[in-house]
Structure 1
Amino acid sequence: MDHDDSHNHNYEHEGHDHDHHDASSPQVRVEALEELLVQKGLADRARIDATIGRYEHDIGPMIGAQLVAHAWTDPVLRQRLLTDADAVVAELDVRGAEIEHIEVKANEPGVHNVVVCTLCSCYPWALLGLPPNWYKSPEYRARAVREPRAVLAEMGLELDTDTEVRVWDSSSETRFLVLPERPAGTQGWSAAQLATLVGRDSMIGVALATSPQAD
């Protein structure tokens, strides 16, 4: 289901603080369970942190970034990715959680795509790693649909007023990946070089791919 930014969804405003510390929240319960396991000697905090870091920075985002970079350099692959991402992912032998059905939405001049999961936090782990805390927050899940331009601006992405914003609502049946626009000034770059410009947030749609001129 996609929404443009003219839709008005009847959600309560959750405020601007992305860190929610309600005792019943999944994050708090997980942290409490981790602390208990560590105290009892059943888990090693360093190994837990290393595993989380690997999913956040290596396993997931880089796989998605490499996929985007190849799409930038191969028009045939790009079109196949937009029409049947599942087949492409299977051919590349990408395996892991929450990629049973993937749809890829391409940014282009005048069109910007954003991904959210309004019901929970459905997210293509095998391509992007672990979802960031803000993606799971009630505020993002509500406001990204209701007022996407405002949310993007607060996250540092100011779009032209004539740019159409399309919001894609992930579910247990379908997860989405944004194909960001290729940055200018990258003609002749290899796929490996281009992949370094693709961050997790650009594949969710809350940021652009990094410009090669950026510090």
Structure 2
Amino acid sequence: MSHDHHDHHHHHDNELDPFAARVKALETILAEKGLIDPAAVDAIVETYETRVGPRNGARVVAKAWTDADFADWLQRDATSAIASLGFTGRQGEHMQAVFNTEDTHNLIVCTLCSCYPWTVLGVPPVWYKAPPYRSQAVINPRGVLAEFGLVLAEETRIRVWDSTAELRYMVVPMRPVDTEGLSEDELARLVTRDSMIGTGLPLRPGSLGPGALWPAVPDAGATS
């Protein structure tokens, strides 16, 4: 489902610390009871942070930027298109890709809990799960984006897509200008996690610097 919005203030930084503290406390209790192995949890998190996401999603976007047939497939059947690249599994079985355009910007949220496509975007950022983001993204999307440093033109329509346990979304941002000569791998390095959630935009060409393997994944969106 989606919601269309135009105007809209929301603060998320201060509310995240208590949320993170509760997660840490729960992990500590479970570890003390012998129900989880902290090392195993760390290994899973590290895998999704550094080996899975958001690199998988970035490669999906880069291929869509360079292959019109794949982009069409991704728009029609994102689950199959993404799986064709080898990216599938739990939390990503049913996907829909929504494409940004010159006049429409897409934003992803899960208003009921924190449904998120781990197989393509990796570990969800803490703010994505926080109640302020989950509520304000629907009520005041323009204000939320402004807090991430993304100020859109007033005439730009914002579509908010509400993920569920049955269907998860990813944003395909517009390809940055002056990237015609870049390879698919080079383009993938410009795609940030936040640009695939909708709270940011891809990086500009040359912004990574020589020798950089991948952009850092900040708490807030990278914008261009």
TM-score (norm 1): 0.86
In 1, the alpha carbon distance for the partners of 2:139 and 2:35 equals 43
Residue 125 (structure 2) pairs with residue 132 (structure 1): yes
CA distance in 1: counterparts of 2:36 and 2:125, whole angstroms? 23
1:104 and 2:117 correspond: no
Q: 2-side partners of 1:123 and 1:37: how far apart?
A: 23
- Picking from 16, 38, 51, the partner of 1:19 is 16
Residue matched to 1:197:
190
User: Would you say the 8 A contact 1:14–1:138 is kept in 2?
Assistant: no
Deviation, 1:60, is: 1.9
**Aligned partners of 1:20 and 1:137 also within 8 Å:** no
Q: Does structure 2 conserve the Cα–Cα contact (< 8 Å) formed by 1:7 and 1:146?
A: no
How far residue 152 of structure 1 moved from its aligned partner, in angstroms, is: 0.2
Q: Equivalents in 1 of 2:131, 2:42: separation in Å? A: 25
- Corresponding position of 2:3: 3
Structural RMSD (CA) = 2.4
Aligned ranges for residues 63-74 of structure 1 at < 5 Å?
A: 63-74=56-67
Question: 1:108-146 deviations in whole A, cap 9, x for unaligned?
Answer: 101100000000000101000111110000000000000
Which residue, 84, 93, 110 being the options, matches 1:117? Answer: 110
Pick aligned residue for 1:34 from 27, 48, 61: 27
Residue 41 of structure 1, CA deviation: 8.3
Answer whether contact 2:7 2:143 (CA < 8 A) is retained. no
Partner in structure 1 of residue 165 of structure 2:
172
1:153 and 2:146 matched: yes
Paired with 2:34 and 2:179, the residues of 1 have a C-alpha distance of 50
**Structure 1 residue 214 displacement after superposition:** 3.4
The 1:50/1:100 distance shift into structure 2, 3 A limit, reads closer
CA contact (8 A) 1:183 1:210 kept: yes
Whole-angstrom distance in 1 between the partners of 2:38 and 2:146: 36
Shift of 1:52: 1.8
Change (3 A) 1:108 1:176: same
Q: Number of residue pairs matched? A: 207
Shift of residue 162 of structure 1? 0.8
Q: Which amino acid aligns with 2:144?
A: V
The change in CA–CA distance for 1:192 and 1:34 in structure 2 (over 3 A counts) is same
Q: Is the 8 A contact 1:112 1:205 kept in 2?
A: yes
CA distance in 2, matches of 1:39, 1:104: 41
SS for the counterpart of 2:190 is coil
Match of 1:142 in 2: 135
Partners of 1:163 and 1:67 in 2: how far apart?
25
- Does the 8 Å CA contact 2:6/2:142 hold for their aligned counterparts? no
Tell me if the contact between 1:128 and 1:200 (Cα under 8 Å) persists in the aligned partners: yes
Structure 2: stretches of 5+ with no match in the other structure: 209-224
CA contact (8 A) 2:95 2:168 kept: yes
Q: Percent identity?
A: 48
Paired letter, 1:208: L
| 8 Å Cα contact 1:14/1:139 also seen in 2 | yes
User: TM-score of the superposition, structure 2-length normalised?
Assistant: 0.83
Rounded to whole Å, the distance in 2 between the matches of 1:207 and 1:15 is: 17
